[in-house]
Chains A and B, each alone.
Chain A
């Protein structure tokens, strides 16, 4: 399969400028600086590349939304890769940091931007050190700073280390965190392209998206658009993890069958196990079942199947794990990471955890599943950011697709806890307390 980002990624020393330049690195920047800003932007638009961070918005369009004019404009590279199951940016930054730096400079040139930041999550200490060294090398060689390569374009680049908060991967939460505050998301609109970092127009893109930019300029936007499908162009790094034989990052052309990724590249489920469910785009994506393995892996096919490509992280769960265990891990994660600004998310995530614990401790009845599903519905679309939705969508899909298993789990847990059989509870009603704890609805 065609490799663009991962082409000979393990070459020793690729993180240094010397090796990167020997492989033709920064050639795309030279080419871009010979073009006008509009021409560079045109290439990005023609390539049709969609954001690799989660939302899948067209990158060229994002750049074109920036206002023209001489005001301060910022570019922020979102390297706060915290979506459970995602680890592609880590490998890219660690092994080929100059590709990212080059992409940032080109994207900034296209948008008329003169200050840029990389917001990297605090846990990626080793990768941050590598990036720091790469930025220093690039600056010394004249690829960053004042009058880049003797053109009249200047750009500063600062690496900012976060301190461990999932919400800072959300673009407006990231901006608040970069301004030195708690990472609380902001109300949109105004969108960051109009009013972002320090109230200035800001372009925010993912590491993988920006790392692809030099390749788009080198091969031309039209050539890049030929890879993949019509609406999901190019290659994508897919992080496969969970119950598979060979977890890891794989570069694929968008549009290949999901089965091929999980079975051929990642080696399929462990011996003697079957795939029960899988997340196609990080833990925030509604789950799919083993019947959905033939869906082509691209933005639109997955959206049509009611889920999303997200950050491109496939998490495979095999039949040795109860659905409840997966749901509980998810709900606890989102409850911990909710910033607390919006009520539906702060309360909804916590109540979901409590209801799942009720199921496990044998106090629940199948009615709890309906209540839980309605809580999820009330979270979706009612908050400033999509953190709450990111829990509500997968949990909602699990209740919908695995209801028989969850009901069996409820019944088994009731038996274990001695809460009385379900039919007794239903028959006796609320009046009789001897039947054990009654659900209060």
Chain B
């Protein structure tokens, strides 16, 4: 990546050892004033990223197939951006620039567009992260029942494990098992701070997490509904 140049530097001609072409002259109106907007805070030495060419962007076959299947489900292919980014995140571990380029190439949209989407949603991550996701709900119902202590315990338990990515999350929609966490999509609760160690141990051993506390095994609370 070319070094980012300051506004002052951009006014100077580019040094000869850079392989970028010399900057065009500053656009001016006939009366001499600068055309507004010419010095917007962007990297002036860089061309805007265009839609990557699928022929020159290697995309894993499985990922490409998955994205194309997603695009086929909607009247407008752009609707597939979230499923496609999800698939790329599965493949690459996070929405890396390379992952976004690959999705952009298959979908025929610009990387900037996909970046705008990826940065909006909490479950799409634009920085490197551990393979295992632990979302600890720290919203109101869970925090009333001690979610903040649980979150601290979870952070401590996973401190030595770069493979476990612990995040505090907004309401996960399981306040009946508060405080709770979502471990790789599996809802578990109600949790004690002591369960944090077990979650990490289960993840390392590749076992199902806290089987007796999984939400899917829980009967309805309404006694007349059973």
List residues of chain A with CB under 8 Å of any chain B CB: 1, 3, 6-10, 72, 81-87, 89-91, 94-95, 115, 121-126, 158, 160-166, 177-183, 198, 239, 241-243, 246-251, 265, 283, 313, 315, 317, 321, 325-326, 329-330, 333, 336-337, 339
What's the interface size class on B, roughly? 35 or more
A82→B175 CA distance, assembly (Å): 11
A29→B123 CA distance, assembly (Å): 36
Q: If the complex has contacts A10-B219, A10-B226, are A283 and B140 also in contact, measured as CB distance less than 8 A?
A: yes
Q: If the complex has contacts A9-B226, A83-B171, A251-B222, are A158 and B82 also in contact, measured as CB distance less than 8 A?
A: no
A376→B86 CA distance, assembly (Å): 37
CB pair A90–B82 under 8 Å, yes or no, is no
Mask of B103-124 contacts with A, CB within 8 angstroms, 1/0: 0000000000000110011111
CB pair A321–B144 under 8 Å, yes or no, is yes
Q: Which residues of A contact B226 (CB under 8 A)?
A: 8-10
Q: Does B83 touch A at the CB level, under 8 Å?
A: yes
Partner of B220, one of A9, A83, A178: A9
Partner of B174, one of A90, A178, A182: A90
Distance (whole angstroms) from the CB of B110 to the closest CB of chain A: 13
Q: Which residues of B contact A241 (CB under 8 A)?
A: 141, 175-176, 178
CB pair A249–B79 under 8 Å, yes or no, is no
CB pair A249–B222 under 8 Å, yes or no, is yes
Partner of A164, one of B122, B139, B221: B122
Q: Does B94 touch A at the CB level, under 8 Å?
A: no
CB pair A165–B122 under 8 Å, yes or no, is yes
CB pair B79–A85 under 8 Å, yes or no, is no
Q: Does B199 touch A at the CB level, under 8 Å?
A: no
Mask of B134-153 contacts with A, CB within 8 angstroms, 1/0: 01001111011100000000
Distance (whole angstroms) from the CB of A16 to the closest CB of chain B: 15
Q: Does B130 touch A at the CB level, under 8 Å?
A: no
A180→B74 CA distance, assembly (Å): 10
CB pair A181–B117 under 8 Å, yes or no, is yes
CB pair A85–B175 under 8 Å, yes or no, is yes
Q: Does B80 touch A at the CB level, under 8 Å?
A: yes
CB pair B82–A180 under 8 Å, yes or no, is yes
Q: Which residues of A contact B140 (CB under 8 A)?
A: 84-85, 242, 283, 315, 326, 329-330, 333
